Each structure stands twice: as structure tokens, then as C-alpha cells.
């Protein structure tokens, strides 16, 4: 039996999302068929406005409604300490701990030669500029990339290049508490707090 084209098109769209296979895409699509039209319209509006109503922070590269983002605009935070993460979701994880009062920098990925992702595809240059061209002196960079092969390679690259820009800067890596191969966005608040407190200098 041939699936109606509007249904198949939506199934194909869902399958493009990470972690959504053919069966999940079909379930989501057929579920939406039973949702009231007003809710579908609201869902469609939310999707349409997702990129229209958000901005990339020109300072830290986080996603927010304003530029600079609320964290970069907060004068009560310690702008001399920058915590470097792979994705905006990682910021949410650290903010839940309530124990980090510095600022962030989002790379939007990690170095991965197999996926043709090099430093030029990430916001590495913007981080280097913050270290040397910032009115507020940076005293420490905490590298909080995921403890994966790609995350470790990114950390080593950042360590080398940051030290070449500013030999006096303190560079640290998250301490024990994050299991190898884990994603930071899924770590609990206690684990992240321990990782921050146990960070080691590179």
C-alpha cells in the first residue's frame, strides 16, 4: 500500500532529525494526524519562528533572544573565566548546577576529521580573539569538551593554540566525574560540580 504523499513527506522530514529512525518517524507522523488542527498550527508557528526569533551571541556564540546573550551581559558574572563547551545544551547543564559564575564559549562541535570537521568549522578563532583582544583580561580557560576522542583532540588543539596566543593564561580541563565517552548535556548537577571543582591545569 502506498502512503499518502503528505504523510510520506513528513516521515522523511522527521528521519532527518538525529536519533529518529524510520519507525519513530512514522509514529510521530501518525500521532500528529490525531492532534487538533489548532495545536498543529501552533507547532508549525513554533518551528517557523525557531530561527527567526533567536540570535547567535556575537561574544560567546550561545543561542539566545538577544545579542549579547543574558550571560555575557551579566556584570555580576566573572568575565575573566571562560568555560569552553561544544554545544549550547552544555551551557544549560552547567547553569543547572548553580556553581559556575564565569562566562562561556560555544564551539558548536568538536574536531572530527572523519566528518571533515576541522578547527575552521568551529568557533575557535573567536575564542582566541577573546583571549588576546578582550578589554577584560582572561585569567583562566576551562576546557569542557566531551570526554570523547573528538573532545580530547579538540582540547589538545585549544591548549596548544591558546598558550601560543597567551603563554601566561591558565588552561584547565574538567576533572574526574565525567565518564569517558559521555555527553555533558546528560550529566547530573553533582557530577558536573565535581568535575568543575576537580579540574586540572593543562
Residue 36's pLDDT is 94
pLDDT at 104 over 60: yes
Measure the CA–CA gap between 14 and 10, rounded to whole angstroms.
6
Q: What is the pLDDT of residues 9-39, one digit of tens each?
A: 999 999 999 889 999 999 999 999 999 999 9
Domains of the chain: 5-52 (1.10.8.420), 57-201 (3.40.1360.10)
160-176 CB burial, b ≥16 within 10 A, e <16? eebeeeeeebebbbbee
Residue 94's pLDDT is 92
Measure the CA–CA gap between 90 and 109, rounded to whole angstroms.
11
pLDDT at 180 over 90: no
Q: What is the pLDDT of residues 126-156, one digit of tens each?
A: 999 988 866 668 899 999 998 888 998 999 9
Residue 175's pLDDT is 65
Residue 148's pLDDT is 85
Rounded to 10 degrees, the C-alpha dihedral 148/108/195/151 comes to 20
Q: Is residue 82 a contact partner of residue 134, using CB atoms and an 8 Å limit?
A: no
| Sheet containing 103-106, strands listed edge to edge, beginning at the edge strand earlier in sequence | 103-106, 81-85, 140-143, 170-173, 200-201
Q: How many CA atoms lie within 13 A of 121 on its CB side?
A: 11
Per-residue pLDDT band for 202 (boundaries 50, 70, 90) equals: low
- 3-state SS, residue 12: helix
Per-residue pLDDT band for 179 (boundaries 50, 70, 90) equals: low
Q: What is the pLDDT of residues 51-76, one digit of tens each?
A: 899 999 999 999 999 999 999 999 99
Q: What are phi and psi of 78, to 5 degrees?
A: -85, 100
pLDDT at 193 over 90: no
Measure the CA–CA gap between 107 and 15, rounded to whole angstroms.
26
Amino acid at each position: 500500500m502506498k502512503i499518502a504523499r503528505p504523510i510520506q513527506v513528513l516521515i522523511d522530514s522527521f528521519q532527518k532529525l538525529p536519533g529518529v529512525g524510520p519507525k519513530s518517524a512514522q509514529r510521530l507522523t501518525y500521532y500528529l494526524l490525531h492532534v487538533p488542527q489548532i495545536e498543529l498550527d501552533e507547532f508549525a508557528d513554533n518551528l517557523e519562528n525557531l530561527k527567526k526569533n533567536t540570535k547567535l551571541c556575537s561574544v560567546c556564540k550561545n543561542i539566545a533572544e538577544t545579542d549579547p546573550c543574558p550571560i555575557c551581559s551579566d556584570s555580576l558574572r566573572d568575565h575573566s573565566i571562560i568555560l569552553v563547551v561544544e554545544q549550547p545544551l552544555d551551557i544549560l547543564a552547567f547553569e543547572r548546577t548553580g556553581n559556575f559564575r564565569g562566562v562561556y564559549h560555544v564551539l558548536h562541535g568538536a574536531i572530527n576529521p572523519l566528518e571533515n570537521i576541522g578547527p575552521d568549522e568551529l568557533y575557535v578563532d573567536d575564542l582566541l580573539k577573546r583571549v588576546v583582544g578582550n578589554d577584560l583580561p582572561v585569567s583562566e580557560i576551562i576546557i569542557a569538551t566531551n570526554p570523547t576522542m573528538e573532545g580530547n583532540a579538540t582540547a589538545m588543539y585549544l591548549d596548544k593554540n591558546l598558550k601560543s596566543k597567551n603563554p601566561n593564561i591558565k588552561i584547565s580541563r574538567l576533572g574526574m566525574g565525567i565518564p569517558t565517552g559521555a555527553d555533558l548535556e546528560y550529566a547530573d548537577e553533582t557530577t558536573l560540580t565535581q568535575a568543575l571543582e576537580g579540574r586540572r591545569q593543562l
